[in-house]
Amino acid sequence: MLRLNQILPPARKISRKHYLGKVLSLYASNRCGIRKLSSVAQCVPADRELQRPGIHKLCEGQELDGFIVQQVADIPELHLRTYRLVHKATGAQYLHVDRDDTNNAFSVGFRTTPSNSTGLPHILEHTTLCGSVGYPCRDPFFKMLNRSMATFMNAMTGPDYTIYPFATQNPKDYCNLMSVYLDAVFRPQLRELDFRQEGWRLEHEDVEDRNSPIIIKGVVFNEMKGVFAENQNIFQQNLLNEILPSHTYKYVSGGDPISIPKLSHKDLTDFQSKYYSPSNARFFSYGNFPITDHVSFINNNYLKDYGALTSITARETLVPPEKRWKSPRQKHVACRLDPMVADKDKQSTVAVGLLCSDITNIQDTFELHVLSELLVKGPNSAFYKTMVEPNIGAGFAPVTGYDAHTKDTIFAVGLQGVSAADFEKVVKIFDNTVDTVVSKGFDENQVEGVLHNIELNMKHQVSDFGLGLLFNLTPLWNHDGDLVKALRIENQVSQLRQNLKHNPHYLQDKVKLFLDDNDHRLVLTMSPDECYEENLKRTEQELLKEKLASLTEEDKNKIYLQGIDLKREQERTVDTSCLPTLRVTDLKQIIDQTPVKSSSFASVPVQICVQPTNGISYFRGILNVSNLNDELKALVPLFCHVVTKMGTRKHDYRELDSLVQLKTGGLNLTPHIAEDMHDLSLYEEGVVLSSHCLDRNAKDLFELWSEIFQEVTLSDVKRFDTLVKVLAANLGNGIVSMGHVYAISAAASLISPSALQKELYSGLSHVSRMRDVAQMMDLAPVLEKIKTISECLLNKRHLRCAVNLSADSESSVMSKIESFINSLPASCEKPFVQTRAKDTNMSVTIPATHHVLPIPVNYVAKCVATVPYSHEHFAPLRVLARLLTSKYLHPLIREKGGAYGSGASLSMTGVFSFFSYRDPGSCSTLNVFDGAHDWVLGNKFMDQDVEEAKLGVFQRLDAPIPPGSRGMIHFLDGIDDESLQLHREALMTVSRDDLHTVCRQYLGWDSGTRSSLALVGPQNKQLVTREGECWNVVVQE
Ligand SMILES: [Zn+2]
């Protein structure tokens, strides 16, 4: 589905995946498009005025540039007003959400219902963005990434829709992007050449060499191989295909790699002309820019020339309701062996899936979401108790929960890491659990906890509220549901409360209806097959053989020439002057100041940031871990994962969780490494505590923290065992989607002391350590060590804190923080401690690690040690990374090499990294990385490219920060407003000469800087032949 991002075709449960870091912004970022409908509530409003000038100008029935205003509605709880319009001539639909938010969003989308698994809508999504009539340069979408200050740009294909969204705070940028996006979808070039690049093609392995073998290449072809390299993705895809088998959902909308090569260019253009018609279009805009400008632009430039003829499409693409089954079904699928799974005999997955209500039934959808929270979330939920805690498997499978993205919605409970012999047992447990819930119902506190979280999420402000709305509303809108009704979350809550008042058994009756008396039920099972990978390869080989057998000499000649043709096209310098652009001079010169105050209680420093937080208080703390020995340090991530989940002397873990749900947004701990901005050998290592709550619950929040600090009980080995197994399984599931992050971490750890510590906390070495811990027969000794960590850390000896709150709650919340800090044991000795790393040996050869995994794609990384944040070369290196990403790596590694993504970045550790993502190549990619130096010094770029690279850097720097997170860069990284301003000024003045200087100094072979390499991917015999590199091969088995 996605072009840069990675949303998987099943379009499910993406939000549950854990993401390790933010190394990539647009490429495969953690901003996954698809969330649950009910998490509309996650995105929140500022407590600002709805009544702004101009807002009242539109009323129902009014005509506006070919559109008719059909509905105007206020949603006070989200501080917004919605406008629904329809285009008279074509029937195109429009939703505008007016809200006092500067991060404006836009999207144009279509209902796209595939009728095979060739990945048609997905490949069309890619090709659409390869050039249009108005913007005929190659790949304007990627080009715009660097000519804009977009806070988000992407395109996504779901199971039955395709959307093209962006967000930006700049009005000129908004117009520029809207124009490029609309031209792309309504007037795309869809050249055959682009189809071959993005979709699939037959081509010589070495394009220039007629004698090299002909193979299948293509961006989406490789992307989808990468997607299905992850077992849980195979499972999710199959669940969707099998439980909704009679219409469009039985196909793989992203494309099955084996079916993709059946697609022709003509299929693509036919599909486009049918589906990308205004009468099948949905336009969305959000924010504080006026709707009138958007509507007039869309009508005058695109819609007014279309006639009513096209309005047939909307009906043609309707997805009918699934015909309900008379009896349950069963299905088994195979997957690959997974070396990262703790228990070799327990690599199977089983799930029970049930088809629930129609997505347009808003109240049902809401209540099913509540039920899902009650049934599968946290240690008090019924299925957690019966399925996860007995340790039959390694926790819920990612399909678990309620999913409202399809016409008929789905509830599923699955267990991963089980033995195939236990399939029946698990299904029996499922049935017994449902029976128990139906007869006993739910605890009142648990229901209140879920409703409290809905209230808290409505108030908690996030920076991408508009996009959140879009992603959550799109599936409902796609099936013509009532959007306004869906946004009235308070109505849904009070309706549920009423239902419960009239019938105390209301929720359990719903469970009976949807989970018990429901024959549309699928039991899906999956087990590894040793030959899976081999079979897949063979099928691909046979497909290729079949294709080759039918080729005439003439065809072969054509393939050779087409390959050359595409290569030339990819190498051609593109004239981008037709594209609009922002300039660095359009950007603000001075940063937005974030005033923070310093205070202290019992010598513990507290940073106070007063913000309009909408009735929520945010509390964070850092505990230093430098006093721990290495063995204990290695367990810090596990300590973070379990310490708030084990219970205290006052409350067992279930009671504790229930209180946390009722009073807070969660108590979280995460490992923390912050580099010194002046010295690369210095870093702060610790644990960050983070939490937030409604102001009225501040007392409870600090009492809970106090209880964790002073009365945590770390003795229940069985509970610990469950938590360890779930953590290990979840880490294992994320490897393929985060492969580039793991590769960079592995390489960086070879040359940077703080990166080494990060690798131990979150890299592949952490993943394999957790797998080993999960395999231990007796976990008591490990738990004993966790206890030692808690005794060392949970006091005020090395504590420092930060709080973000509103002015009106400041005094009351501060008094609660004061008593919390005073209550903590020990006395504050040194709140800020830095670790000084020993100098590591310089060696002549380049250290390199190859993590061997049985996956069909590679993740390649190269790292170079450079300078800290305050150094004068930091700014030019940052610009250089952007320049290389778009002008050098993208054309060579994605366009020519067929990898899904690639890039360069500079971390706060001063590590300059190159990487590739889902890459069919390995050594060729390493050669491209090495060639960066010559490319820069060969002056193969223009001044406009430098300008664009700077814009790319500012995109990240100027991304909006929600009130609850302001001042965090100061608290966590020690970077104050003055340093940020200096860095901004340095970036503004970076010149071509500066880029040459840093390139010569850090990227050359003879520069004397230290560099390192890593490869995550299948076994690779070529590596040893590479000169000057010392490869350490780590086989995960
Ligand atoms: Zn894609």
Backbone dihedral region of 131: left (phi > 0), alpha (psi from -120 to 50 degrees) or beta?
left
CA of 217 to the centre of ligand 1 (A): 14
Distance from residue 869's CA to the centre of ligand 1 (Å): 35
Amino acid at 803: V
**What pLDDT, on a 0 to 100 scale, did the predictor assign at position 10?**
24
CA of 224 to the centre of ligand 1 (A): 8
Q: Report the alpha-carbon distance of residue 640 to residue 734 in Å, rounded.
A: 19
H or E element at residue 996? helix 992-998
Confidence bin at 1005 (pLDDT 50/70/90): confident
Encoded tokens for 837: 């790393």
- Does the pLDDT at position 980 exceed 90? yes
Q: Is the pLDDT of residue 322 over 50?
A: yes
Distance 861 CA to ligand 1 centre (A): 22
Q: What is the CA radius of gyration of the chain?
A: 28
Residue predicted with more confidence, 303 or 511: 511
> How far apart are the CA of 65 and the centre of ligand 1, in A?
35
Q: What is the largest CA-CA distance in the chain?
A: 84
159 Cα to the center of ligand 1, angstroms? 13
pLDDT greater than 80 at residue 910:
yes
Predicted confidence at residue 975, as pLDDT, reads 94
Residue 17: pLDDT band (50, 70, 90) is very low
How many A from CA of 225 to the centre of ligand 1?
A: 11
The residue behind tokens 């350490």 is 1032
pLDDT score at 415: 97
pLDDT digits (tens, 9 = 90+) for 108-150: 999 999 999 999 999 999 999 999 999 998 888 888 888 999 9
Q: How far is CA 863 from CA 27, 39, 743, 907, in A?
A: 18, 38, 10, 10
Q: So what's the pLDDT on residue 311?
A: 53
Answer whether residue 16 shows pLDDT above 80: no
Share of the chain above pLDDT 70, in %: 93
- DSSP 8-class letter at 150: -
Q: What are phi and psi of 505, to 5 degrees?
A: -95, 10
Ligand 1 center to 1003 CA (angstroms): 32
- Taking the centre of ligand 1 as the mean of its atom positions, its distance from the CA of residue 128, in whole angstroms, is 12
What kind and span of H or E run contains 610? strand 604-610
Angle at 998 between CA 838 and CA 858, to 5 degrees: 75
Distance 486 CA to ligand 1 centre (A): 29
Task: Give residue 181 CA to ligand 1 midpoint distance, Å.
Answer: 17
pLDDT category of residue 223 using cuts at 50, 70 and 90: confident
**Phi, psi (rounded to 5 degrees) for 915:** -150, 160
Q: Which residues contact 543 (CB under 8 A, 6 or more apart)?
A: 216, 258, 261
Q: What is the dihedral of CA 909, 910, 911, 913, to 10 degrees?
A: 120
Q: Which of 1024, 774, 991 is nearest to 883 (CA)?
A: 991
As a whole number, the mean pLDDT across the chain is: 90
Give every CB contact of residue 445 below 8 A, 6+ residues apart in sequence. 658, 662
Instruction: Tell me the CA–centroid distance for residue 122 and ligand 1, in Å.
Output: 6
- Total Cβ atoms within 10 A of residue 703: 18
335 C-alpha to ligand 1 centroid (Å) = 22
Flag whether pLDDT at 15 surpasses 60: no
Cα(482) to centroid of ligand 1, in Å? 30
CB 712, CB 643: distance < 8 Å: yes
What is the Å distance from ligand 1's center to 198 Cα?
9
Give catalytic residues, as residue numbers.
Answer: 125
Cα–Cα distance between 985 and 805 in angstroms, integer? Answer: 31
Q: Is the pLDDT of residue 310 over 90?
A: no
Q: What is the Cα–Cα distance from 745 to 436, expressed in whole angstroms?
A: 47
And the tokens for 415?
Answer: 């267990």
Write the CA distances from 548 to 89, 204, 264, 543, 545, integer angstroms: 49, 12, 16, 9, 5
- Does residue 788 carry a pLDDT above 70? yes
Q: Cα(767)–Cα(14) distance, rounded to whole angstroms?
A: 20
Q: Are strands 281-287 and 348-358 parallel, antiparallel or unpaired?
A: unpaired
Chain length of the chain:
1037
Residues 675-719 pLDDT 10s? 999 998 999 999 999 999 999 999 999 999 999 999 999 999 999
Count CB atoms within 10 A of the CB of residue 993. 8
pLDDT score, position 735? 86
Q: Which residue, 382, 377, 346, 383, is CA-closest to 729?
A: 346
The predicted-structure confidence for 956-976, as pLDDT tens digits, reads as follows 899 899 999 999 999 999 999
CA pseudo-torsion sign 485, 489, 494, 498: positive
Is residue 405 predicted with pLDDT exceeding 70?
yes
The rounded Å distance from CA 411 to ligand 1 centre is 27
Q: Quick one: pLDDT band at residue 793, thresholds 50, 70, 90?
A: very high
Scanning 441-505, the segments in alpha helix (DSSP H) are 444-459, 465-478, 483-487, 489-502
Alpha helices of 73-159 — where are they, by DSSP H? Answer: 120-128, 140-144
Question: How far is 453 from 411, CA to CA, in rounded Å?
Answer: 21
Q: Which residues contact 444 (CB under 8 A, 6 or more apart)?
A: none
Distance 199 CA to ligand 1 centre (A): 9
Residue with the bigger pLDDT between 530 and 483: it is 483
Beta strand extents in 60-186 (DSSP E only): 63-64, 67-75, 80-87, 93-98, 104-111, 152-153, 156-157, 161-168
Contact indicator for 307, 130 with CB cutoff of 8 Å? no
CA 900 to ligand 1 center in whole angstroms: 8
DSSP string for 352-371: EEEEEEETT-HHHHHHHHHH
Whether the pLDDT of residue 435 is over 80: the answer is yes
Residue type, 435: D
What is the CA 1019 to chain-centroid distance, rounded?
A: 28
Q: What percent of the chain has pLDDT over 90?
A: 79
Find out whether 129 and 340 touch, Cβ atoms under 8 Å: no
CA of residue 221 to ligand 1 center, whole Å? 9
Which residue, among 51, 67, 69, has the nearest Cα to 59 in the 3D structure?
69
Q: What's the pLDDT at 316? A: 81
Ligand 1 centroid from CA 11, angstroms: 12
Residue 343 has pLDDT above 80, yes or no: no
Cα of 909 vs centre of ligand 1, distance in Å, is 31
Picking from 251, 475, 200, the residue whose alpha carbon sits closest to that of residue 365 is: 475
The pLDDT of residue 737: 83
